[in-house]
Amino acid sequence: MILIADSGASKTDWACVSRNSNKQIRFQSLGYNPNYITGSQIISDILQNIPSELKVESVKEIYFYGAGVTELQYPFMEETLRTVFTKAETVFIAMDTLASCRALLQDKPGFAAILGTGANSCLYDGKNEGLNVDSCGFILGDEGSGGNLGKRLITDYIRRNMPAKVYDLVGEELGMNNDELIDQIYTKPYPNRFCAQYAKFINENLDTDPYFKELAIDAFRQFFKLIVTHYPDYQTYKFNAVGSVAYYFKPILENVVNEFGMEMGNILKAPMDGLVIYHLNN
């Protein structure tokens, strides 16, 4: 059996598939960014979430793609996964950007982006990811991501940088005062996930007040100005992206894509279906 994992900042999508049949077992677990979680926590969470019909000893190949999984983290992730799946002969570890490339483009070269809880992007040669303009993560960047959208909303709320009626609406949604919000973000774990949860609220209120649409447009413009436009000849590529933000904000995102001289390509809510096709064909 082949086990494929796509691990983002919020959750990990798993698919166990066979090269000899159409059988698939799918499940979800927490996101396993190794910068925020320990090996023992990962092992415990996998064992809590793995379906009973998936026998760990049946897994012979593992392909794990993860947010925050740089080459420095490859040995850690491999050792952690081998602790659970002791019979695995192949354990392949890569960044989530390669997952987006393979899901969106299969074996064709192009540009691929991730716009979910976090953001990332790269060029792809049809086999391996190439140039990557670093998103710098939640604290320093991640423009256009769910975490970035939520952070902008919360910052504007704390500063009252929004219309009065929007301020009241946002206050009801947040349910915290300024001090509580700052404490939540600066002292509690996973501030990126906390902020990203409000991307859905922003999307649901795009027609409530121009503030929400302008917030999203500006976030996507910053994604392009600070990241996408730094790829050589970026306008010669189609804009392909995976992630819930890219999927649900697609009409607004497409306007910004066109504004920067690119053509819209494939947009996927999640990469797993494309990854399954890729690995069964390769």
**Whole-number percent of the chain with pLDDT over 70:** 100
pTM: 0.84
Q: Quick check: is 50 in a domain? A: yes
pLDDT beyond 90 at 69: no
Mean pLDDT value across the chain: 93
- DSSP state, 68? T
Region label for 13, one of left (φ > 0), alpha (ψ between -120 and 50) or beta (otherwise): beta
| Domain enclosing residue 85, as ranges | 2-101+272-281
Across the range 69-75, mean pLDDT stands at 89
3-state secondary structure of 8: coil
pLDDT in the model for residue 70: 84
pLDDT in the model for residue 32: 87
pLDDT, tens only, 212-229: 999 999 999 999 999 999
Q: Quick check: is 70 in a domain? A: yes
pLDDT beyond 90 at 4: yes
Q: Which of 113, 111, 135 is nearest to 234 (CA)?
A: 111
Residue pair 240/104 in contact by the 8 Å Cβ criterion: yes
Q: What does the buried/exposed string (b/e) look like for 68-88 if buried means 16 or more CB atoms within 10 Å of the residue's CB?
A: bbeeebbeebbebbeebbeeb
Alpha-carbon distance of 212 to 203, in angstroms, equals: 8
Alpha-carbon distance of 118 to 142, in angstroms, equals: 6
Across the range 196-201, mean pLDDT stands at 96
Q: Quick check: is 15 in a domain? A: yes
Q: Quick check: is 16 in a domain? A: yes
Q: Quick check: is 177 in a domain? A: no
| Domain at 40, CATH number | 3.30.420.40
Q: Quick check: is 206 in a domain? A: no
Strands 11-17 and 24-30: antiparallel
Q: Quick check: is 152 in a domain? A: no
pLDDT in the model for residue 242: 94
Q: Quick check: is 167 in a domain? A: no
Q: How many domains does the chain have?
A: 1
pLDDT beyond 80 at 36: no
Residue pair 39/55 in contact by the 8 Å Cβ criterion: no
pLDDT beyond 80 at 88: yes
pLDDT in the model for residue 119: 93
pLDDT in the model for residue 67: 83
3-state SS track over 207-225:
CCCHHHHHHHHHHHHHHHH
pLDDT beyond 90 at 19: no
Region label for 137, one of left (φ > 0), alpha (ψ between -120 and 50) or beta (otherwise): left
Helices 272-281 and 96-105: crossing angle in degrees, nearest 10, is 80
Tokens of 278: 């890729």
Across the range 219-244, mean pLDDT stands at 97
